[in-house]
Copies of this chain bind each other. A is one copy, B any other.
């Protein structure tokens, strides 16, 4: 009997899932649209797709559990709460709905926490007791591990670095309603806003003048920067300056061994890592300087969220905590 964990990554557009073995290998993966406004209907569709994937494997499979990464997930309660980009309103008891369907343990956390778990179980953070994972997508997510454990926090909402202040009480308006939040500067969207700010404030030639805000993406800015476009280069420099400074602050909280940066913006490589590391070191207290690594993820980026979600269950199994429901 092949023992597998279901890793599920719920995004605003699609729900990706994979069946992951205990070595972290994704044996099969697939997806469904995240569009059914009826949560029971969505669970039925998801369960159907998961069972289809299971049946397509050559050998008989036993599920050890289900791990889910989702926005606004509450680990302690197993719920998704008021997620603005998902089709369900209010508090959704996702863990219990999936437990009823599959009769195995279900663990739920936000996508950045799941990424941190994946990095600890199978990536560059293997063996580390204290580290931070930063995911740079549309927004900025973060997961903290201290003393070898994920920090979920009192209410399951730890690791919201996207909404700490780069500019206190001022700066760019965030969709959370506050101003100056870190993710309005450091994320795929933040990078675009910086490009537009630079184009507004200066009159340098730039190939980025060709693109509408809606069309512009991180890869276009990265390609332009690699072609020597001064606006694109400056946009990455500024993004790294902001990220480096705020990561130096994060170190003052939990003193990690390393900080892993992943997600779309991290794929820009040196363009984002170099300025981030420079400004990180510049803002660090002397006892930390030169000691803390800023690294790309070592996970296969296609499956990071799925492996991370599955790691929630694998960690419980390793610690002897897993109990079938």
Q: Size of chain A's interface in residues, with CB distance under 8 A?
A: 48
- The prevalent SS among residues of A at the interface is loop
Of residues 254 to 286 in A, which have CB atoms within 8 Å of B's CB atoms? 254-257, 282-283, 285-286
Asked if residues A286 and B254 are in contact (CB atoms below 8 Å), the reply is no
Of residues 162 to 182 in A, which have CB atoms within 8 Å of B's CB atoms? 163-166, 168-169, 176-178
In the complex, which of the residues A152, A153, A248 has the most CB atoms of chain B within 10 Å of its own CB atom? Answer: A153
Determine if A160 is an interface residue (Cβ-Cβ < 8 Å). Answer: yes
Chain B residues lying within 8 Å of A252, measured Cβ to Cβ, are: 159-161, 163-164
Asked if residues B253 and A144 are in contact (CB atoms below 8 Å), the reply is yes
Determine if A291 is an interface residue (Cβ-Cβ < 8 Å). Answer: yes
In the complex, which of the residues A156, A160, A248, A282 has the most CB atoms of chain B within 10 Å of its own CB atom? Answer: A160
- A288 CA to B169 CA in the complex, in Å? 17
* Chain B nearest CB, measured from A165 CB (Å): 6
- A282 CA to B178 CA in the complex, in Å? 9
Asked if residues A255 and B154 are in contact (CB atoms below 8 Å), the reply is yes
- A144 CA to B254 CA in the complex, in Å? 8
In the complex, which of the residues A163, A250, A256 has the most CB atoms of chain B within 10 Å of its own CB atom? Answer: A163
Chain B residues lying within 8 Å of A169, measured Cβ to Cβ, are: 245, 282-283
Determine if A85 is an interface residue (Cβ-Cβ < 8 Å). Answer: no
Contact A256 to B146, CB < 8 A, known contacts A163-B285, A283-B169: no
- A81 CA to B286 CA in the complex, in Å? 12
Determine if A234 is an interface residue (Cβ-Cβ < 8 Å). Answer: no
Determine if A39 is an interface residue (Cβ-Cβ < 8 Å). Answer: no
Chain B residues lying within 8 Å of A81, measured Cβ to Cβ, are: 287
Asked if residues B253 and A168 are in contact (CB atoms below 8 Å), the reply is no
Asked if residues A255 and B155 are in contact (CB atoms below 8 Å), the reply is yes
Chain B residues lying within 8 Å of A177, measured Cβ to Cβ, are: 286
Determine if A14 is an interface residue (Cβ-Cβ < 8 Å). Answer: no
Contact A146 to B158, CB < 8 A, known contacts A176-B286, A253-B253, A254-B253: yes
> Chain B: which residue is nearest A182 at the CB level?
B252
In the complex, which of the residues A146, A160, A250 has the most CB atoms of chain B within 10 Å of its own CB atom? Answer: A146
- A255 CA to B250 CA in the complex, in Å? 13
* Chain B nearest CB, measured from A278 CB (Å): 12
Determine if A227 is an interface residue (Cβ-Cβ < 8 Å). Answer: no
- A165 CA to B253 CA in the complex, in Å? 12
Asked if residues A249 and B285 are in contact (CB atoms below 8 Å), the reply is no
Query: Shortest 5 CB-CB distances between A and B: which pairs?
Result: A153-B255, A158-B255, A154-B257, A164-B249, A164-B252
